[in-house]
Amino acid sequence: MEFTLPELHYPDRLNAAEVLIDQAVDAFGADRPALLTPNGERWSYGDLQLRADQVAHVLTQEMGVEPGNRVMLRSPNNPWLVASWLGVLKAGAVAVTTMPVLRPAEVQKLVDLTRPTVLLTDHRFVDGLTDEVTEVPVVTIGGGGPEDLVSRAGHYRDPFQAVETSQDDVALLAPTSGSTGAPKVTMHFHRDVLANADTFARHILRPAPDDVFAGSPPLAFTFGLGGLVVFPLRFGASALLTERVTPVELAELVAEHTVTVLFTAPTAYRAIIREGCGDRLRGLRLGVSAGEHLPESTWHEVQEHTGLTLINGIGATELLHVFISTTQDEPGPGTTGRPIPGFRAKIVDEMGQDVPDGEQGRLAVIGPTGCRYLADDRQSVYVQDGWNITGDTFVRTADGSFVYQARSDSMIISSGYNISAPEVEEALSAHDDVLECAVVAKPDEDRGSVVCAFVVLRDGVEGDDVLRRSLQDHVKSTIAPYKYPRDVRFVDELPKNPSGKLQHFKLRGQLQAS
C-alpha cells in the first residue's frame, strides 16, 4: 500500500465545505438529491448549498463569528444539522460536534474545554442550556420564532463566498465516544476531512452518484459524519438521515428508500438477522461494520440471510474514520483486513519495538490523519514516535492481515492466563438463545480476575440456572475451557453509546461498585 497518494495532495488554501458543497454543485448539478429523511423531506445539492450559505451569513453577520472561532452543534441527524456544519466551515470557523442527549452539565464541560462563540442546538434539546450554559449565546434550530436559526437564515439569498482557510487550519473538534469513560476532544484539519473520503471511501467503498448512504451513527461521531455527510457529498451521492431508530426500523428504512450503503455496528446487524429482517438488507451494495469487533459468527449470519459480505473495519475518532478494512473480496471473516491505501500499520510491544507476525501486541497506525488532542496530556500516550497507538491488541498474519484480539484494556488475566474478551463474546453470541452479550473482567481474590458475561436473551427466552450452565458449557465446547465465563448475568439491555458501541467500562464500573 502506498503511504502517500496523489489524491491526498491538497492545495495550500483549502476549505473543506467549499469542496463538499460548492464544487459538488458544479460537478454533479444543483438538482441532484443530497439529503433525504424518513418523513419525506428531500434536499437537493442546490438546497443544501443555499442553506449552508444562509447559516454562514447568520453566523458572520448576526453573531459576530470570525474565522477560527468555534461553533458548537447539538442536534440529532437531520438536514439542518448538515447545513449548519457546512455553514460553520464555510465561515472559516471550527465545528464542535456534540450529542443532543448530553445533559446541560455535560455540555458545560465541553463548553469549558472548547470555548465556543455560539451554541446552535435543535429546539427540542434546549431545556436547561440557557440557564446553565450562560456564558455562550444559545440559538435554536427549527423552533420557530424570529430568533430561531431557520427563521434568521430565510432573510438571506445571496451566495456566501467560503473563507480561504488553509489546508491545515482546524475545521473540526470532535469529542471521542468515551469507550474508556474519559472523553477527549480531537482536532482535525480541513485536509483531514477530505482525506478520510479520499482513502477509505474512494478505495474501499468506491461510491457512485446513484448511491444512497444510511446508518445508525450520529453525525456528532466521526463514524457518522464521514459515512453520512463527507463520503456521499464528496462523490455526488445522497444520504438518508435518521434521528434515532432501532435496528429493525433501520432495516425497514433501508428497503423502503433503496439504500445501497449502510453503516452500523455489529450488534445492529446481529439484531436485524435475529429478528428475521435480513431480507430487508438484500438491496444493499455494501454493508460496513465498525465501532466494535465483528464476530465471525455475525459475519456468517449476515451473509447467509442477506447474501451481503460485510466490510469489517476499525477506525477511531483520533484518526477520523476507518484505517484498516476488509473488502468485499478479501481477506474474509475473522480478520479486520489490511491498512487502506494511504495508511500503514504494525504491531509493537510495550517498548514500541516491532513484534513478529503471529504474536499479539499493540496496534500502531500512521497515515494522512492522526491524533491531535485539545489540551490533553494523553497526547503523548496516543502518539509515540509519530505512530498512533490506538489502544487495541492485534496480531498480524503472514499475509499482512490484521486480526483483532481485544481492546488493550479488555484483555482479562485470570490465574495467569490471557483471555480475550471479544473471543468469549463471539463464542457466546453463537448460542441460539443469545441476542447480544458483553464480557469484562471481574476482580477475584483467588484468580486476580474471572470472566464475567452480561447476556441479553432473545424474546421469550427465560434466563435461569439451567440456561446459565448451558451457556458456560457452550463456551467450553467452542474455545479453550479455561476461557468460559464463571459469572453469567442476564440483563435486559447493555450500555451503549448513541452509535451502538458497547460501553464495557460501565459494566466494569458496576462490578467494581458491587
What distance in Å separates the CA atoms of residue 129 and residue 150, rounded to the nearest whole number?
Answer: 19
- Evaluate whether 20 touches 48 at the Cβ level (below 8 Å): no
Domain range list for the chain? 412-513
**Per-residue model confidence as pLDDT tens digits over 392-420:** 889 999 999 999 887 776 778 787 667 87
Q: How confident is the model at residue 179 (pLDDT cuts 50, 70, 90)?
A: very low
Residue 181 has pLDDT above 50, yes or no: no
Q: How confident is the model at residue 103 (pLDDT cuts 50, 70, 90)?
A: confident
Q: What is the secondary structure of 313-337 as a DSSP string? A: EEE-GGGSSEEEE--SSSS-TT--B
Q: State the pLDDT at residue 180.
A: 46
Q: How confident is the model at residue 49 (pLDDT cuts 50, 70, 90)?
A: very high
Q: Which of 351, 347, 327, 349 is nearest to 338 (CA)?
A: 327
Straight-line distance from the first to the last Cα atom of the chain, in angstroms, rounded to the nearest whole number: 49
Q: How confident is the model at residue 177 (pLDDT cuts 50, 70, 90)?
A: low
Q: State the pLDDT at residue 271.
A: 87
User: What are the E-state strand segments in 446-513?
Assistant: 448-457, 487-490
Q: Which of 197, 166, 190 is nearest to 342 (CA)?
A: 197
Q: How confident is the model at residue 421 (pLDDT cuts 50, 70, 90)?
A: confident
Q: Assess if CATH 3.40.50.300 describes domain 412-513.
A: no
What distance in Å separates the CA atoms of residue 222 and residue 205, rounded to the nearest whole number?
Answer: 17
Place of cell 455540555: 107
What distance in Å separates the CA atoms of residue 161 and residue 145, rounded to the nearest whole number?
Answer: 27
Q: Which of 357, 363, 502, 507 is nearest to 441 (CA)?
A: 507
Residue 307 has pLDDT above 60, yes or no: yes
Residue 9 has pLDDT above 80, yes or no: yes
Range of lowest pLDDT (27-31, 44-48, 330-334, 482-486): 330-334
Contacts of 351 (CB under 8 A, 6+ apart): none
Peptide bond into 11 cis (omega under 30): no
**Per-residue model confidence as pLDDT tens digits over 251-297:** 999 999 999 999 998 888 988 998 999 999 999 999 999 877 788 88
Residue 230 burial (C-beta neighbours within 10 Å; 0-12, 13-18, 19+): buried
Residue 182 has pLDDT above 70, yes or no: no
- Give the best-scoring range by mean pLDDT among 105-109, 192-196, 220-224: 192-196
- Evaluate whether 433 touches 458 at the Cβ level (below 8 Å): yes
Q: How confident is the model at residue 1 (pLDDT cuts 50, 70, 90)?
A: very low
Q: Which residues pair with 73 in a beta bridge?
A: 97, 120
Q: Is the pTM of this model over 0.95?
A: no
What sign for the dihedral angle of Cα 428, 433, 435, 440?
A: negative
- 153, HSE (Cβ side, Cα atoms, 13 Å): 26
**Per-residue model confidence as pLDDT tens digits over 199-242:** 999 999 999 999 999 999 889 989 999 999 999 999 999 999 99
What percent of the chain has a predicted confidence (pLDDT) above 90? 73
What distance in Å separates the CA atoms of residue 6 and residue 2, rounded to the nearest whole number?
Answer: 10
What distance in Å separates the CA atoms of residue 419 and residue 452, rounded to the nearest whole number?
Answer: 12
For the CA atoms of 420, 421, 423, 429, the dihedral, rounded to the nearest 10 degrees, stands at 170
